[in-house]
A and B are shown apart, each in its own frame.
Chain A
Amino acid sequence: MGEPGTKELISLDELEAAGNLRTGRKHILSILVENKPGVLTRVAGLFARRAFNIDTLAVGPTDDETISRITLTLDGAVHPIDQVTKQLHKLVNVLKIRDLEPDETLARELALFKLAVDGAQRTEVLQLCEIFGGRVVDVAKRSLVVELTGSDDKIEAFETLVRPFGLIEMARTGEIAIARGRSET
């Protein structure tokens, strides 16, 4: 329709609207920002101001000391992701945003689980640890602490399994992510 260089007009019926759509899946945004005071506040404040809900947020340095990476996840069923990224782009300190494709992304999160287990149950928990690739990093008389790295699905699965043993507390970092292959995230 309406090929460039021709005078062929465009039928309005053929036009389709784009944007503002809910994708219905989790999105991981990798945001490179200038490493300056207050930048995280600007990003977090934008989310509050626009009523976007952050699921997880992780911030840390990159290979370049003037640049930090913010990795945040949010629900594409609730938010129009393109509106979120466009608003983020308007922040002067934001250098680059990438909405990571799930299939081409390595996403990892670190979690610590403090479990109320003693002698009898310990073996069972240790078996689960082995299956999930977790490590016991602290053992006391009536508790132990497991360190686990993985995707959020894996961490949630582990949580479901160990909860019946008595989950005293849990700490999670939120996911960080990087693109697979040679290309930069």
Chain B
Amino acid sequence: MRAVDALMECLKAEGVEVVFGLPGGANLPTYDAFYDAGIRHILVRHEAGGGHAAEGYAKATGKVGVSFGTSGPGATNLITAICDAMMDSVPVVFITGQVRTELIGTDGFQEADILGMTLPIVKHSFMIQHPLEIPRTIHEAFHIARTGRPGPVLVDIPQDLSRADIPYEPVSDVHLPGYQPTTEGNQKQIRLAAKAMANARRPVIYAGGGVVNANAAQELRELALSDRFPVTCTLMGLGAFPAPHEQWLGMLGMHGTRAANYAMDEADLIVGIGVRFDDRVTGKLSEFAPRAKFIHVDVDPAEISKNVPAHIPIVGDAKNVLARLVTEYRALEADRSRLEDWWQRIAGWRAQYPLRYEDTTDNEIRPQFAVQAVFEATGGEAIVTSDVGQHQMWTAQYYDFPEPRRWINSGGLGTMGFGLPAAMGAAVGCPDRTVVCIAGDGSIQMNAQELATCSQNGIPVKVVILNNGYLGMVRQWQELFWDKRYSHVDMGSFPDFVKLAEAHGATGVRLTDKTTLVEDLKHALATEGPVVVDVRVTAEENVYPMIPAGQAARDMVG
């Protein structure tokens, strides 16, 4: 059969339900195979949208996302999504068409060295050299994307090779001698960790996206509840521990709660699980958690001691390690009363510094209020995606996520334009759930074209734009740190999002009244098909509290 038909067979064998992509010259053969392969394909309007949609699908379902693009610009348009998937450890297989082998290296039409360009931002990549390699390579790509620390894998297939006639036999194994991720934590280290935890007076569990990726939320909860361990999550980890909860401190980091950041600052033992001590969490590294010893659990050994030296390193899958850590911890029968003082301290911070904003006395809508209204209108039950900026931080602060895979955003790369296509992918992966994209008026414009994809395919995403007419986060920084010199952050009142929605076949609504906001949002959510809600919010509201860049948790402002 044709190599491209074999490719389709491989996708089916991998259980691929849907592909997000866009055809072009170099992947014409592949698209001919799609014609009757029986695999759902969603035609996106821009490859970046396809890439982020595959990420959203992967994050919502835990399965591997798949995105296709053609050679040259099709492939380069995928680069941001590839890098985003790398930074946030999202399992996505990207399959690009490449020019014919005889044209490679000649600067042929739509030729781009996508393999070379993406080397630093892929977990792994393959350039097909011979059509017979295609089946095994596809399976290896999926295997690498989904196992260990998940990540993006690129497969670049020259057009002529994809048309070749090959004998196809299902491949059931992979041959990757240099790839053996450690998933099982060292028992001795786990025991050591339990003993340190049982002796800690001021412990904090600091959990991240690795817990979500490992489907270890249940185990995390058991560990936390096996004593009264306070828990904080990173932006990527929200939902890994159910919020709200008496042991939940809120998110930590630059826009985290004071309770979480102060607890990290005063902790004597920090148990990091599936985290990478990112600068948005640590602030000034030399003043980060100065009194603490660190237990660090991660499936990627290179993350351990990368930024903060670990006292008890444990390389392994969070689910595996946490389950055994719970058993070890329980066997120690630690004295629960030792944490009494610590909880009193934390209770003091909670009482003194709750998340807060000054609400309006008229009908004007504060952006934080809008997020709370979305929470209320969805009953906290939605999958929520976001773009990047102020609205993202307000959503992280004010929308409580009870479960993992409910909160989908771009953390590491901070990609504006991520939210709508990611919501599209999440909605395709989880058709029974309400999927809301909370966006900014700036970032929604970076991939707004995907509204057409949603309309054409009946993907009912609900986009709530917190419209303040600014690139708000940049404006906030210019206000606070650059003497209010607002340089190129004013977006004006363009475009008209209601008309934009209608032009794309979606429903558009503009909301300006606080008093009816929840009801209006409920109505919008109940409207069939994709809906864009343009919520006009206070223009110059800031995200607080905040650790100014490069400062310590102690220096939080606002």
Task: Please list the residues of chain A having a beta carbon within 8 angstroms of any beta carbon in chain B.
Answer: 2, 4, 7-12, 15-20, 33-34, 37-38, 41-42, 45-46, 48-49, 82-83, 86-87, 89-95
Nearest B residue (CB) for A21: B309
The docked-state distance in angstroms from the alpha carbon of A21 to that of B332 is 33
> Do the beta carbons of A90 and B302 come within 8 Å of each other?
yes
Asked, given contacts A7-B332, A15-B312, A83-B305, whether A41 binds B144 with beta carbons under 8 Å apart, the answer is no
4 smallest CB-CB distances across A and B, nearest first, come from A19-B305, A17-B309, A86-B302, A15-B311
**Closest residue of B by beta carbon distance from A32:** B178
Residues of chain A within 8 A (CB-CB) of B474 are none
Interface size counted on chain B using CB atoms at 8 A: 40
**Residue among B177, B179, B200, B304 making CB contact with A12, cutoff 8 Å:** B200
Q: Which residues of A contact B305 (CB under 8 A)?
A: 17-20, 82-83
Known A-B contacts A17-B309, A20-B306; A12 and B293 likewise in contact (beta carbons under 8 Å): yes
Set of chain B residues within 8 Å of A92, measured between Cβ atoms: 123-124, 144, 176, 178-179
Given A9-B199, A92-B178, 13 more pairs with CB closer than 8 A: A7-B332, A8-B195, A9-B334, A12-B200, A15-B196, A16-B311, A17-B293, A17-B310, A18-B313, A37-B129, A45-B119, A45-B120, A82-B305
Per the bound structure, the CA–CA distance linking A83 and B277 in Å amounts to 15
> Residues 197-228 of chain B: 1 if any A CB is under 8 Å from the residue's CB, otherwise 0?
01110000000000000000000000000000
Interchain CA distance A92-B313 in the complex, whole Å: 23
Are A19 and B188 closer than 8 Å at their CB atoms? Answer: no
Q: Bound complex: CA of A9 vs CA of B334, how far in Å?
A: 9
Q: In the bound complex, how far is the Cα of B200 from the Cα of A34, in angstroms?
A: 46
Q: List 25 A-B contacts (CB under 8 A).
A: A4-B188, A7-B332, A9-B196, A9-B199, A9-B332, A12-B199, A12-B268, A17-B293, A17-B305, A17-B309, A17-B310, A18-B310, A19-B309, A19-B310, A20-B305, A20-B306, A38-B115, A41-B116, A42-B119, A83-B306, A90-B302, A92-B123, A92-B124, A92-B178, A92-B179
A131 CA to B268 CA in the complex, in Å? Answer: 61
Residue of A nearest to B116 (CB): A41
Which A residues are CB-close (under 8 A) to B313? Answer: 18-19
**Which of chain A's residues has its CB closest to B307's CB?**
A20
C-alpha spacing A83/B196, complex, angstroms: 25
Most buried by A among B129, B269, B294, B311: B311
Task: Verify A19–B312 contact, CB threshold 8 A.
Answer: no
Knowing A12-B199, A49-B120, A92-B178, the reply to whether A19 touches B304 (Cβ < 8 A) is yes
A49 to B122 alpha-carbon distance, docked (Å): 12
Assembled-state Cα–Cα distance A34/B152 (Å): 21
Q: Which of B123, B301, B310 has the most CB of A within 10 A?
A: B301
Pairwise interchain contact B269-A12, C-beta atoms closer than 8 A: yes
Given A16-B311, A38-B127, do A9 and B178 touch, yes or no (CB 8 Å)?
no
Q: How far is A46 from B119 in the complex, measured between Cα atoms in Å? A: 9
Set of chain A residues within 8 Å of B199, measured between Cβ atoms: 9-12
Contact with A along B322-346 (1 / 0, CB 8 A): 0000000001111000000000000
Which residues from chain A contact B191 at a C-beta distance below 8 Å? 2, 4
Residues of chain B with a CB closer than 8 A to A95's CB: 177-178
* Contact B300–A18 (Cβ < 8 Å): no
CB distance from A45 to the nearest CB of B (A): 5
**Interface residue ranges, B against A (CB under 8 Å):** 115-116, 119-120, 123-124, 127, 129, 144, 176-179, 188, 191-192, 195-196, 198-200, 268-269, 293-294, 300-302, 304-306, 309-313, 331-334
Contact A10 B302 (CB under 8 A): no
Q: In whole angstroms, what is the CA distance A86 to B302 when docked?
A: 5
Contact A89:B302 (CB < 8 A) given known A17-B294, A19-B313 = yes
Q: Bound complex: CA of A7 vs CA of B330, how far in Å? A: 11
Q: Which residues of B contact A18 (CB under 8 A)?
A: 305, 309-311, 313
Which chain B residue lies CB-closest to A1?
B195
User: What separation, in Å, do the CA atoms of A20 and B313 have in the docked complex?
Assistant: 12
In the complex, the answer to whether A93 meets B178 with C-beta atoms within 8 Å is: yes
A111 CA / B97 CA spacing, docked (Å): 45
Given the complex of chains A and B, what is the CA–CA distance between A49 and B83 in angstroms? 13
Nearest B residue to A7, CB-CB: B332
Name the CB-closest residue of A to B178: A95
Q: In the bound complex, how far is the Cα of B304 from the Cα of A60, in angstroms?
A: 32
CB distance from B327 to the nearest CB of A (A): 14
Pick the contact of A89 from B188, B196, B301 — CB < 8 Å?
A: B301
Residues of A within 8 A of B309 (CB): 17-20
A-chain residues with CB within 8 Å of residue B115 when the two chains form the complex: 38
| Chain B, Cβ-Cβ closest to A12 | B293
Cα of A145 to Cα of B432 in the assembled complex, Å: 77
**B300 contact set on A, CB distance < 8 A:** 90
Inside 8 A of B331's CB, which chain A residues have their CB?
A: 7
Cross-interface CB contact of B195 among A10, A17, A87, cutoff 8 Å = A10
Contact partners of B124 in chain A: CB under 8 A: 92
* Nearest-Cβ distance from residue A126 to partner chain B, whole angstroms: 48
- Considering the chains assembled together, what is the distance between the CA atoms of A45 and B144 in angstroms? 20
- Beta-carbon contact of A34 and B195 below 8 Å: no
Task: Give the complex CA separation of A15 and B196 in angstroms.
Answer: 9
Which of A2, A4, A37, A94 is packed against the most chain B CB atoms within 10 Å?
A: A2
Q: Which residue of A lies closest to B196 (CB)?
A: A10
Complex CA distance for A17 and B305, rounded to whole angstroms: 9
Residue of A nearest to B294 (CB): A17
What is the chain B residue whose CB lies nearest that of A39?
B178
Minimum CB–CB distance from B314 to chain A (whole Å) comes to 12
- Which chain B residues lie closer than 8 Å to A91 at the CB level? 178
CB distance from B199 to the nearest CB of A (A): 4
Q: How far is the CA of A108 from the CA of B311 in the complex (A)?
A: 38
CA of A11 to CA of B333, assembled, Å: 16
Which A residues are CB-close (under 8 A) to B116? 41
Contact (Cβ within 8 A) A34 B178: yes
Once the chains are docked, how many angstroms separate the CA of A93 from the CA of B177?
8
Contact in complex: B127, A9 (CB < 8 Å)? no
Q: Bound state CA distance, A10 and B293, in angstroms?
A: 12
Chain A residues, CB < 8 A from B304:
19
Closest CB in chain B relative to A18 CB, distance in Å? 7
Judge whether B178 and A10 touch: CB under 8 Å.
no
